[in-house]
Structure 1
Amino acid sequence: MNHLYNFYRIKTSRGQETHMSRAGSRFTRPRETFQILDEPGVGTIVLDQDMQVAWANTYAMDILSAREEEILGSDAGQVFDTHLVPLLQGRREDAGRLLATVRDGSEIPGLELLVQNARGEERRFVYSSRKIRQEPFAGMWVLCMRDVTERRPTDEGLLSSNRQLLVLNQIMGVSASSLSLDELLEASLSKTLELLDFDLGLTYLLNPERTLALTRYHHAVPKTYLARNRAIKVHHWPWNFVFVAGQPRYLERGGEGGTIEEEILSSLGVSTLACIPILAESVVVGALFLGSRTKEGLRDEECRLLEAIGKEIGSGVLRSVLHKRLEAAHRETNLYLDVMTHDIKNAENVANLYCDLLLDMLKGDAAQYARKLKECVRKSTGILQNVSTIRRIHQEPPDLKPVHLSHVIRASLARTPEAGVSFEDASAEIWADDLLPEIFTNLIGNAVKFGGPDGEITIRVEDDLEEDHTVVVTVEDTGPGIPDEMKETVFDRFKQGREQGCGEGLGLYIVGMLIERYGGRIWVEDRVEGRPDLGASLKFTLREVVHTTADGYED
């Protein structure tokens, strides 16, 4: 068949000699056609429609250690089987896949090959094949073998870095999601063993006195080792290097027999042991021991990864410890608050009784002093009530239910009969919980306190013109009003919105918190626009309950 081919030799611009074949008149401009396929560091072969070699560049010849007359016009599978497969370092899977793709006519985007050239050098190539679908070359194939030998160390470094990031990211996820210290230690050790291919592991934590390291979790550790090392004295060699100095220590077989390091490895039944300190903000809180029965030492990048894992577990331990302390402080605070509330209320009840007795006995200025004393006791009771309400808001999630707004307002007015309030009942039903009365108790009490005995208070409930299924509640008074510069901050904690009078500043803060709890908004306006001295108008929105009929329409 070779006599059918007319071979052309072409000198490329890079000085490489290329070879091509011509079958009949199909290829009339071979130089322009095949020179564009010639690329440094890439062995390129062109097959015709019968899967026979039609052209190859010089680098392809070098890779195959073949001459032009040995391959041009020959079957591609036969060429690869004869010239390439013997160079594949005995990797039969690669050879089989390579030959299958050539003989079956299937494209392959990339197959890594380890080839030993004629000089005995190992070179790495990425093999790819592509079928041409454009005329006049439709049905022909382009096979490329790209030399990636020099790129390989960089690629391996990137792969190693990516793997380390993946492992560390998973450990961070375990650390962040663990709800308890024991769960953190167990999950992080298990994940580290799984991802880094160690056979056994232990987690130690220091006792409060920092004299002993106590086993908190272990996996696949011999019972004989645990029996003698469940608690480690941290100041003894070689553990002081880890628990006191905070330095990692790596033990490997191959040292002198009879040493303590060899005894530790033998008792664990491993050839390599990594002892990694668990650091929480540079303070040693424990250690992670990881052993392998097959590893003969650890690479530098593995050591760095293990040390990073130790720090990440330490951060999780610190978070867990701080969380436990926070919970304990929270419980202690609640205990103090409960005791204070109970005892102060009892004392206030007794004080109120004595005030009532004094008011019955005294006349004139003395009676006035008794009334002021009673008012101070009432104010103290109000402060305790506000503190209890704030605690409920923070601790209890909203359980919103339909509530008749007018009923709540009427009940609040009944508790303050001394207040002259103008209010017309409304049919609105809104979403709220049993803390809703606190809003009106505080707003009405605030208006009475600052408006004085002659003040007028008005409450209105209207539909919100800007938002559907929402009502606007207005509580306005004829008191001294709220200055413009204080309107934005009047609902902040411990802020007082009036220039006259005094108060602890919790009432409006609670009102703002409750409106936010119910999904509404609150703001302050002047009762008479532009005249803050003529009274304040506090407005807030509440979400209205929407009832639907059986056919799905709003009632």
Structure 2
Amino acid sequence: MSEPLRVLLIGKSPGKLGEMLRECGRDVELIRCERPRDGLALVLGGRIEIVLLDLDLMDGQGAAAFDRLRRTAPDVPVIVLTTAGSSPAALHAMQNGAQDYLVWGKTDAELLCRAFRYALERKQVKAALRHSETMYRRLVENLNEGVIAVDETGCITFANPAMEEILGYPAERLVGSPVAGFFDGSGREGSVSKNPFCRETDERQEFELDLLHSGGGRIHALVVTSPVTDESGRFRGSIAGVMDITERKCAEEELLIRNEHLMVLNQIIGVTAASLSLAELLEESLKKTLKLMRLDVGIVYMLDSERKRALLQHQNGLPGSALARHRLIKVHHWPFNFVFIAGQPRYIEQQADLNSIEAGILRELEVSALACIPLVAESVVVGAVYAGSRTKESFSRDERTLLETIGQEIGSGILKGMLHKKLEAANREANLYLDIMTHDIKNAENVSNLYNDLLLEMLEGEAALYAKKIRSSIHRSAEILGNVTTIRRIHHDAPDVGPVDLHAVIREEVAAFPEIAIEVAGGTPARVWADDLLSEVFTNLIRNAVKFGGQDVRIAIRVEDYDGENVLVSVEDTGPGIPDRMKESIFRRFEREWVGGYGDGLGLFIVRALVERYGGTIRVEDRVEGRPDLGAAFRFTLHEVLPAGDDEDDEYPDGEECE
């Protein structure tokens, strides 16, 4: 350090002190005064780094002078000087903060300089310690979490401001108080052995604890404790961080309740979606609701056709003594009209002002709380579900919301059943009308064909041409009617596939078009999994080729192996072909953009529907790759009926195995 060390000597003439100071390796500025009062003034003026206090000139007041000096400048190190080795004043000074004491006549330069060096180092250490303590205190006092120190007896020795806020007590009230007194249920936790803050352990502990607030509330806290030990390793208490997690616990409990309610609702939705009948829907929904919501008694009512009475459909847990009385209720009587007429939920719970009628209902059902939830379908009340508990005094807001949502879901299930019945009735009626129309139209076609044939025999020239067009239109009408009938079978009848001789079906269809040039390739017999509608595939593909290719169109039908389990069937024609942009859409219903002519747009739709019905796939390509104008090729797959014994397990007959 470049600046000289400023040393104040309060006492007699320094004698050889100046010479000894020059050997300290640093410039020393020695300032001397004889009276302690003058020394105090100099210290207060600042810049004094060390004080040498001569106790021999104090006339027995050395201890008092030292005390005044320490009070005046507690941060300035003081070294006392004495001619006696163990004077009472020196002893007092050492006990109360003196850095060192030196004996006149027995002190040399080395000893003096070492005392100075130690004094300055202790001063620096104390300054650093005070700074560290200040930073620590600021940190602890500004934490959002509480910090509390507890000694080995379980008494609080320190609490920061956050801890004051958590418990609602000032620090003065907390310090010195047993920490167990702030536990929720402190009587059970009162002993030190049960006090979690006083567990003698070398490890950090983490636990949750309920604490009592000064206002009477309860604080749920997360506590992390660390042990405090002395130099010998003996347990002296603990310091703990305390975090108020009351809101978090409430949120967790709320989330848990919501998850449970969502699970209940999902199961009820599953029941309403899977139930095949109204009885199954009501029974399973009631059973699930009681089980999942931990309720004891349940009843499902449905209104009669006159909407004057509610009839019991299902019950669970209903006392036998109440069964007869509650099998049928008149819905216009109070309080049932509130549910069945007004369509509002009603909760009958134990209350001081509970009326005698509702109190009687609770007694009859042997419950302490009852929820009456209307079942609504198409904005009309169709019934109600009653759910009661023998342990609950009332239903929470969340439970009420869940019960009302369950009622809405059951009502939706009832509506779905009603709509399903209406749909089935409408479907039966539509099929009846279609059967009647098909029968009558076919009769009309037969009569029209008969008269048309008579006209063709009688007419010639242009009149005969018109008669032929009439016959073509009648045939076209018959095709449309046949397509509609086929589509109805596809959608209405479940597939009943079995082995079908593919080549026999092809031969029959080729024979039905004798005027068309049709080549059949692939003579290997093949049986496929199909039904009697397979012929419609070839009928529509051949008819489609003739319609757009004319009577001179040439058709080829090929059958070949596809992958060992399926056959590939190709129906190729020399017609106008299909543009690339239409190859993906021509199988859609009523897709006719590519023809520019006429047609019902159902033929190819039927073809794809049947191929997919048999588990195959279909696509359309150019007959000659890259030349759409040279015709189209429809290719589809069918599952082949494999001969018995083709499995790998049958590879070695008579039980022989490969070695």
Normalised by the length of structure 2, the TM-score is: 0.61
Report what 1:40 is aligned to: 145
Q: Which whole-Å CA distance do the structure 2 matches of 1:305 and 1:95 have between them?
A: 45
Query: What SS does the corresponding residue of 1:270 show, helix, strand or coil?
Result: coil
Moved more, 100-109 or 490-499: 100-109
CA–CA distance in 1 between the matches of 2:636 and 2:281? 45
> Corresponding residue for 2:637?
542
Q: Does 1:248 align with 2:345?
A: yes
Q: Distance in 2 between matches of 1:102 and 1:462?
A: 88
In structure 2, C-alpha distance between the alignment counterparts of 1:113 and 1:285, rounded to whole Å: 51
2:294 to 185, 189, 197: 197
The answer to whether structure 1 residue 272 and structure 2 residue 369 are counterparts is yes
Q: Does the C-alpha gap of structure 1 residues 253 and 364 become closer, same or farther in structure 2, counting only changes over 3 Å?
A: same
> Which residue among 467, 483, 502 is the counterpart of 1:386?
483
Give per-residue Cα distances to partners, 1:362-411, cap 9 Å, x unaligned.
Answer: 56468777766655554444333322322232244445556554443223
Give, in angstroms, the shift of residue 308 of structure 1: 1.9
Aligned to 1:160: 257
Distance in structure 2 (CA, Å) of the matches to 1:292 and 1:508: 62
* Residue aligning to 2:158: 58
Partner of 1:460: 558
Q: How many angstroms does 1:509 deviate by?
A: 1.2
Secondary structure at 1:176 match in 2 = helix
Partner Cα separation in structure 1 for residue 423 and residue 618 of structure 2: 33
Kept in 1: contact 2:568–2:635 (CA 8 A): yes
Distance 1:154 1:114 in 2: 16
Judging changes above 3 Å, is the alpha-carbon distance between structure 1 residues 370 and 309 closer, same or farther for their aligned structure 2 residues? same
Conserved? CA contact 2:302–2:313, under 8 Å: yes
In the TM superposition, residue 300 of structure 1 has moved relative to its aligned partner by 2.4
Match of 1:489, SS state, is coil
Deviates more, 1:498-507 or 1:444-453: 498-507
Matched with 2:20 is none
**Which amino acid in 2 is paired with 1:239?**
F
Alpha-carbon separation, structure 1, partners of 2:639 and 2:372: 63
Structure 2 equivalent of residue 321 of structure 1: 418
Of the two, which has the highest radius of gyration?
A: 2
Deviates further, 432-441 or 522-531: 522-531
Q: How far apart are residue 223 of structure 1 and its match? A: 4.7
Conserved 8 A contact 2:611-2:617: yes
CA, structure 1 residues 482+393, in 2 after alignment: closer, same or farther (shift >3 Å)?
A: same
Q: Write the distance in 2 (CA, Å) between the matches of 1:375 and 1:96.
A: 107
Aligned mates of 2:582, 2:348 — CA distance in 1? 69
1:15 to 119, 137, 142: 137
3-state SS, counterpart of residue 552 of structure 2: coil
CA distance in 1, matches of 2:560, 2:438: 38
C-alpha change, 1:83 and 1:45, in structure 2 (3 Å) is closer
**What secondary structure is seen at the aligned counterpart in 1 of 2:589?**
coil
1:411 aligns with 2:533: no
What's the counterpart of residue 535 of structure 2? Answer: 437
SS in structure 2 of the partner of residue 308 of structure 1: helix
For the 8 Å contact 2:301–2:385, the answer to whether it is kept is yes
C-alpha distance in structure 1 between counterparts of 2:449 and 2:352, whole Å = 85
Aligned counterpart, 1:517: 613
Which segment is superposed worse, 441-450 or 155-164? 155-164
Question: Given the superposition, is the C-alpha separation of residues 121 and 246 from structure 1 closer, same or farther in structure 2, using an over 3 Å criterion?
Answer: closer
Summarize the Cα distance change of 1:508–1:157 in structure 2 as closer, same or farther, 3 Å threshold. closer
1:128 and 1:106 map into 2 onto residues whose CA distance is: 13
**Does the Cα contact within 8 Å between 1:112 and 1:125 map onto a contact in 2?**
yes
Q: For 1:289, which of 383, 386, 403 is the aligned residue?
A: 386
1:333 aligns with one of 424, 430, 440: 430
**Counterparts in 2 of 1:135-534, with a 5 A limit?**
146-149=243-246, 151-223=248-320, 225-254=322-351, 259-280=356-377, 282-342=379-439, 344-345=441-442, 358=454, 362=458, 364=460, 375-398=472-495, 405-427=502-524, 429=526, 431-434=528-531, 435-461=533-559, 472-482=568-578, 486-496=582-592, 499=595, 502-527=598-623, 534=629
Structure 2 SS opposite 1:58: strand
1:513-534 alpha-carbon deviations (Å, 9 max, x no partner): 12333444434445566765x5
**1:89 has 2:194 as partner:** no
Q: Whole-Å Cα distance in 1 between the matches of residues 204 and 472 of structure 2?
A: 90
Query: SS in structure 1 opposite 2:522?
Result: coil
- Deviation digits for residues 149-198 of structure 1, max 9, x if unmatched? 45444444333333333333333333333232222212222222223233
CA distance in 1, matches of 2:184, 2:378: 52
More moved, 284-293 vs 255-264: 255-264
Distance 1:319 1:306 in 2: 20
The residue identity in structure 1 corresponding to 2:552 is D
Scaled by the length of structure 1, what TM-score is found?
A: 0.71
Percent identical across equivalent pairs? Answer: 48
Secondary structure, aligned partner of 1:492: coil
d(CA) in 1 for partners of 2:296 and 2:485? Answer: 55
User: Is the partner of 2:145 in helix, strand or coil?
Assistant: coil
Separation in 2 of the partners of 1:264 and 1:421? 83
SS of 1:15's equivalent in the other structure is helix
Query: What letter corresponds to residue 15 of structure 1 in structure 2?
Result: R
Structure 2 equivalent of residue 71 of structure 1:
none
2:398 and 2:517 mapped to 1: Cα distance? 79
Distance 1:515 1:16, change over 3 A: same
